[in-house]
Amino acid sequence: MGELKHIYSGKVREIFEVNNETYLMVASDRISAFDVILDRPIDNKGRVLNAMTCFWLDELSDLAPSHLISADPADFPEEYKEIGPDVAGRAVLVRKAQMLPIECIVRGYVSGSAWKEYSTKGTIHFMPIEPGLIESDRLPSPLFTPSTKATEGHDENISFDQARELIGNEMADKARELCLAAYERGVKRALEAGIIIADTKFELGIIDGELAICDEVLTPDSSRFWSLDAWKPGTSPPSFDKQPVRDWLESTGWNKLPPPPALPDHVVEETSQRYRSAYEAISGKSLDSWYR
């Protein structure tokens, strides 16, 4: 038996090359906070990210193709078992893509860096926005707000004109149209489950000459999820996913530099349940029925 070639390790994902056309992408249970990977994983987090991404790719399939080939371990190369015992349910077989060199961010609410910019300059990603909005307000219409992909440090917000310079006018227009349509589709479905998707990040690439949706999609890791019941303009609603982790870390007085303190059991369990409940509420499916 051969070995799959490990080519990438991120905060959460590991990528293995299967052949010239495909990768095996594995979502781990690792969790990061304040840009530091914590020592203790969150049970089932990788399975949730995988299950939710596959759910959304199916929901959005009429808008664009995706890189997804299969999440069923029966379709994986036999060598995948050499990676580890917990790969099934956390892995997807995907087509290789020529990735766009920008982060495709869509914002529907004034929050995070968008609120910081708006509150001081009246703009969001250099675009003038109507006055009078307060933190966490819903925007009159969702905005496509791209950024660079930083190899080191943080991504840098760029204007749409700068995105056009990077990827061309036609491709930038297509990316904006696709991401806005996908976001609005996701927002509608999530709201039915009592969850607000305040903003999200899409990764797009070219496969067989077509613009395709890649990587993770509308998950609690790539998006800012709020409970509809907790949303109140003028406040910063707690995020749906890792808020228990952030709150506990803040309470310890940790200086946000490695090494981080070890998470206690109750924080791990509460966070795991939040990830699970987000998937189950939005998809209407039980995580127990997902591959393992």
How far, in Å, CA of 193 to CA of 279, rounded?
Answer: 10
What was the pLDDT predicted at 2? Answer: 55
CB 51 within 8 A of CB 287: yes
Number of neighbouring beta carbons within 10 Å of residue 243 = 18
> DSSP code of 157?
B
Convert the pLDDT of each residue in 197-248 to its tens digit: 999 999 999 999 999 999 999 999 999 999 999 999 999 998 888 889 999 9
| Res. 121: pLDDT tops 70 | yes
How many CB atoms lie under 10 A from the CB of residue 216? Answer: 26
For the residues 256-266, what does the mean pLDDT come to? 96
Q: Cβ of 202: how many Cβ atoms within 10 Å?
A: 27
List, in sequence order, every residue forming a beta bridge with 127; answer none if it has no partner: 124
Mean pLDDT throughout 173-186? 98
Confidence of residue 254 (pLDDT cuts 50, 70, 90): very high
Q: pLDDT digits over 56-115, tens only?
A: 999 999 999 999 999 999 999 999 999 988 999 999 999 999 999 999 999 999 999 999
284, HSE (Cβ side, Cα atoms, 13 Å): 7
Assess whether pLDDT exceeds 50 at residue 187: yes
Contact 272, 42 (CB under 8 A): yes
Write down the pLDDT at residue 100: 98
pLDDT of residue 195: 96
**pLDDT at position 155:** 82
Domains and CATH numbers, the chain: 1-96 (3.30.200.20), 99-230 (3.30.470.20)
Angle of helix 265-283 relative to helix 45-59, nearest 10 degrees, comes to 20
Work out the mean pLDDT of the chain and round it to a whole number: 95
Residue 80, φ and ψ in degrees, nearest 5: -60, -25
Give which of 147, 189, 190, 195 is closest to 167, Cα–Cα. 147
pLDDT confidence of residue 241: 83
Q: What is the DSSP letter of 242?
A: S
pLDDT in tens, 122-154: 999 999 999 999 999 999 999 999 999 876 667
Nearest to 96 by CA among 163, 168, 28, 16: 16
Question: What pLDDT, on a 0 to 100 scale, did the predictor assign at position 1?
Answer: 38
pLDDT of residue 27 exceeding 70: yes
Q: What percent of the chain has pLDDT over 70?
A: 98
